[in-house]
Structure 1
Amino acid sequence: MKSVQRPIAEPEADDAKAPRRSRVSGMDRALQILDHLYQTGEPAGSYAIAKAVGAPLSTIYVIIDELVERDLLSRRGDGLVWLGPRLYHYGLVYARSLDFLGEASHVMHELGRQIGETVQICGRDGDHMVVLAMADGPGHFRVMSEVGTRVPLNWTASGRLLIGHLPDAERVAIFSRSAKASPTEKAKTDAAALSELAGEAFEKRLSIQISETDFLVSCVASPICDESGACVATISIVLPEHKVVANPELYGKAVRDASESIERKLGWRER
């Protein structure tokens, strides 16, 4: 009897389209842990991290132990873990490699000495503003935000500027999903109104907020724009509310001059 060669059956259409299970690597899990701590901005326990990233608790225990051993995480006395010193050293080396941040920091310190107030360089991290560099003022006035602080874009003068160059529809979409009430409840949350303010501030190269994030604290910011005209960062003066109310022109001119100086140094603005 002859054997009959049967054709190999083709997979059903549904089977061909069925997603394959993918194994999450240890590297991916480690990054999920680091990202979670970075995004929340506070120490956490293994159980909370496992729940947040959707991973087995046993897996998270092992990876956290390995990261602690390598100084990428540090374990506190209460058992919670936080970002480790090795990450800080990596960050310092990375910051030194950025021509932008180096040039901006020089101008930031010059402005701080000139104006006698705290000055910050801020950038955008998704739907948040993040403090990239900071020079403390010489007086007793101190601000709560330090380098690495992340706050919603609608809370700050810098946050509005960072998306001011975008089309109105895109700004509205960003504010619609990200705007939150501030601790003082003075920050606007209406997406359309915020978009209009952002566009106007960007056109004027000046944004001022008074007591929207912290009581009696104000911020005067100007955009730092690259050669395409996009706002890549801001430089801002953080000072007591009564000072900017008394003399907004002084601080506005100082911060705009500083942002233009940074742009010229980087070749983003004609001299």
Structure 2
Amino acid sequence: MTDILSLVFRTFTSQTDGRKELTVAPPSPTTSSTLVVGDAGISRSVLLLAAVTAASELGTRVVFFTHAQIQSLPLCLQKRVPSLSPESLKKIKFSYPRTVEELLQQVASLHEPASTSPSPPSLIVVDGLEGYLRGPGGSGGAPGGLDPGERSRAAHLAALLCDSAAFLTQLLRPSRADPCRVIASFRSVDAASAAEDPALEVLDRYFRARCTLDRAGGYEAAAAGLQEVWHVYLSGIRDREDRPAATQEWKLLISPDGFMEFKVV
């Protein structure tokens, strides 16, 4: 999945940084699942960018699961890709399961003809895992975060996502050489202690790569005349020989009008 995220960042790279040539590494089966950790709003924009980029640039069919109705595409997409083909958008199927049970059922049925018409998805996106795992009640009432039942639910959902992607990979071959990928977002209850979040401990067993979004201090944004600046880290990446690769670092620049660009660090 990190190959698609890298393609997203390259596609929306700051024009002042355009002289840097970036390549997208071939996908490794061990890094075909990525967890985006950080602010819910920014994470959703990144997931939408990934879905639209995969559909328009790679011709990938995408299924996008989320709680909230998608009213419009991120402003940066509207500005940077004003002529986005309707046929590309048709490759993205949005689905709105309300509970983790509904999500599990829909993921489990992705291989069925009614769900895969005209062909199975090559990218599974889940926006806001925390909403499905914790529900409206927050952390479930346990002092350490998730209670044992919710830990089991997190493991069940993550395992099903990865197993479904593996099954769809076999189903898609030989029409596609690359694996079906999974990208999901998660926001910790306490962003300051996200590293100790028990939910992440469970999810990290299944998601082999992490995209972490850290908001920079306000002075950095103000100095650049921007509304927000975010540090973006891609970690846990491995190459096709399953060797660990260096963490990739980017900056996400958001202008006062909502325009988003990425910059290589």
| TM-score, reference length from structure 1 | 0.26
| TM-score, reference length from structure 2 | 0.27
Q: Which has the higher contact order (CA 8 A, sep 6+)?
A: 2
Q: Which protein is richer in helix relative to its size?
A: 1
